[in-house]
Amino acid sequence: MKTTALNFFLLFVLFHLGVLNSIAQTTFGDSLSIQAEATIVNSPASITVTWSSDADATNFIIYRKLKTATSWGSILATLPASSTQYIDASVSSGILYDYKIQMNSPSTLVKYGYLSSGVDVKANSNRGIAIVVIENSFIANPVFQAAIDLLLGDLENDGWFPKTIYVNKTDLVPSVKSEIVLKYNEESSRTKLLVLFGNVPVPYSGDINPDGHPDHQGAWPTDTYYADMDGTWNDVSVNDLVSANPRNQNIPGDGKFDEDYIPSNLELQVGRIDLSDLPTFSAGEENLLLKYLSKLHRFKSAQLVVQQKALIDDEFTSYTEGFSQNGYKNFSALVGRNNISKADYFTQLSYNTSTSGTYLWSFGCGAGNYTSAAGIGSSTNFASDSLSSVFTMLFGSYFGDWNYSNAFLRSALASGNTLTNAWAGRPNWQYQHMAMGENIGYSTLLTQNNSGLYVANSVFSGLSRMVSINLMGEPSLRNNYIPAPINLTLSSTGISNSLNWNAGGSEIGYNIYRRYSDSTNFLKLNTAILTGTNYIDNALTIPGTVYYYVKAVEKKVSPSGTYDNESLGIKSNAAIVTVGIDENTLEYTSSVYPNPFTNSITISGKNISRLEIVNCNGAIIHASNYSSINEVNLSLSDLSKGIYFINIISNGGTIEHNKILKLN
């Protein structure tokens, strides 16, 4: 759908004249929000979704889908107006579910709430490949390069395999895109994340003014172009010189694209860390980037601690769109509705002052310009104050256009503990999955690709999938981190590796991951959380160099459910694996037959105590323990056709490795 300047001008006029349907409550953001939470029961598994009572309700309708489903399907339940909860007993432990709660009323607009929930959802941090695009102005500085290395190391230790691209600030946007596409195509199915670090060239697209101002019509900055691997972006039809700012003027062939809306679903979760052209800050771009990387590492390593609270400063209380619903709906899922405060945006305490008055999340909205929002503050406030909130959202006119000197949206990243920001209100953003361990890039991609699954705006249509939906900040960030284990040591024999470590905090246990040096894949080795501080890897069937990552685990009880929350991993030194798929040089005391086989095999040996079947990725897919027997008949009819390895472990600790081939 093409959105014209007239559409947005009418939207703007109606919006400011207040001729739209009114709602009884004073604060529309609050009144349009169902603030949902959930509690769980482990056995039998159940999820109880709760919300506050509402005198305006006619009824409540509950929908549920699997997290990855693309539609809500049929109604799960219709509840009377007095309802404040729904108990869902038809759930399974370890599965993530999404809920939509809809409140109908004769006197108000329909209200919605969204929740992601699950019972004891397990962690598996094989997240995928992260492309990191770095603008190269400062890489000659060893201190700066060391900070970049720490960024890349933290990504890897969180289960992202980083691949870097270095660019110049003067490079053409299509040239940068070409390099991203080349990296993506190396392993397209596993490439998920895109980090833009520094003054990476900024794409522009569209003939839009989603803030409703006719003098702001034209092309807006958009990183969605970089995240789209297969869409068509044109520069042939838009011819508009209306904007008072030349940056937004858009004519054919000027390098600014025509598209108002994302032309196809984005493939990459993209976020930008760009602290260039912020002269209000005395530190300068390089030092601001270094400060950002420092606080980013401190938060991910659980050294920067803020309270699980959220703050909302709504200076648009009489506007029917209710922009602050972006705060109320998301914050109830993320920190709990009783932990949401209405307060002035710039009264947050700095982490350096105290943790008692700090906030994890914040939202502010007010009449804006490029460098401020009325009643909220300005870029100068960001330069002089030190906010505690790690994640923030802001909404107001003009500053959704973030490629501007002292840009309000980007200035937040240079202040205090703030690590991400988004222009949230047109459309609404969906962060609820972060309450169950997802990263903020997942929420960004969900919001950008939203085609009606979630209500993008309570009053106006045409705001979904706009190119103006962008994340400022590092997209791999999660809502919660805990300290990593310490003092990891590795002892290697070439055919088995022994790991030992110490606790990093109050974790309940650990997960172990292995990665071969020529692979981007992190293989989780344990099925249940390990409670000890050692691990022996005997499932080594492929020669090469391997690394291990030990992660602390807590059972996180969030306002939405329970899940295994992991620390960053502590990475081992390299270990050289000498055992391989060709074992002809070994002297076997056991035999495996028939080989190849169809349904079952027989293993003959001496004092067999354990058998392990391992796939080509090194994962143990079957294990059996025995009491020193000499022959085992093993049914493997459920295995798919292919090559496997069998580890035969004797009572005395001897390990033999055999390659086996299943025919069908």
Phi and psi at 79, nearest 5°, equal -120, 150
Q: Is the pLDDT of residue 354 over 60?
A: no
Who contacts 372 (Cβ-Cβ below 8 Å, separation ≥6)? 378, 379, 399, 408
pLDDT given for residue 424 in this prediction: 98
Q: What is the mean pLDDT of residues 552-568?
A: 98
Q: Do 486-577 and 591-662 agree at the fold level?
A: yes
128-273, CATH topology level: Rossmann fold (3.40.50)
Q: What is the mean pLDDT of residues 30-48?
A: 96
Q: What is the mean pLDDT of residues 608-632?
A: 83
Question: Which of 407-411, 460-464, 539-543 is predicted with the least confidence, judged by mean pLDDT?
Answer: 539-543
Integer angstrom CA distances of residue 324 from 119, 331, 427: 30, 11, 12
pLDDT given for residue 324 in this prediction: 96
Task: Say which DSSP state 377 is in.
Answer: E
Integer angstrom CA distances of residue 210 from 254, 386, 391, 410, 453: 22, 30, 23, 19, 21
Q: What is the mean pLDDT of residues 512-536?
A: 95
- Give the number of other CB atoms < 10 A from CB of residue 435: 27
> In whole angstroms, how large is the CA radius of gyration of the chain?
27
pLDDT band at residue 555 using 50, 70 and 90 as cut-offs: very high
pLDDT band at residue 2 using 50, 70 and 90 as cut-offs: very low
The angle formed by the CA atoms of residues 512, 518 and 522, to the nearest 5 degrees, is 25
pLDDT given for residue 339 in this prediction: 97
Which pTM was predicted?
A: 0.87
**CATH 1.10.3720.10 matches 591-662:** no
Look over the chain and give the mean of its residue pLDDT values, rounded to a whole number. 91
- Alpha-carbon distance of 208 to 191, in angstroms, equals 31
Q: Is the pLDDT of residue 469 over 90?
A: yes
Strand 269-273 versus strand 191-197 pairing type: parallel
Q: Is the pLDDT of residue 510 over 60?
A: yes
- Give the number of other CB atoms < 10 A from CB of residue 80: 9
Q: What is the mean pLDDT of residues 435-464?
A: 96
pLDDT band at residue 654 using 50, 70 and 90 as cut-offs: low
Which token pair is 307? 């309270």
Tokens 């001496």, located at residue: 606
pLDDT given for residue 350 in this prediction: 53
Q: What is the mean pLDDT of residues 476-496?
A: 95
> DSSP for 245-312?
STTT-B-TTSS-B--SB-SS---SEEEEE---S-TTSTT-HHHHHHHHHHHHHHHHTT-S---S-EEE
pLDDT given for residue 661 in this prediction: 87
HSE toward the beta carbon, residue 76, CA cutoff 13 A = 20
Give the strands of the sheet with 391-395, arranged side by side.
160-167, 128-135, 191-197, 269-273, 471-473, 420-422, 391-395, 361-365, 310-314, 340-342
- Alpha-carbon distance of 526 to 95, in angstroms, equals 19
pLDDT given for residue 349 in this prediction: 55
Integer angstrom CA distances of residue 456 from 102, 166, 323, 430: 14, 35, 11, 9
pLDDT band at residue 644 using 50, 70 and 90 as cut-offs: confident
Question: Which of 120-124, 399-403, 589-593 is predicted with the least confidence, judged by mean pLDDT?
Answer: 589-593
Which residues sit opposite 631 in a β-bridge? Answer: 604
Q: Is residue 329 helix, strand or coil? A: helix
Strand 361-365 versus strand 391-395 pairing type: parallel
Q: Is the pLDDT of residue 351 over 70?
A: no
What are the extents of the domains in the chain? 128-273, 486-577, 591-662
Q: Is the pLDDT of residue 649 over 70?
A: yes
- Alpha-carbon distance of 382 to 492, in angstroms, equals 51
Instruction: Domain 486-577: give its CATH superfamily.
Output: Immunoglobulins (2.60.40.10)
Q: What is the mean pLDDT of residues 452-461?
A: 92
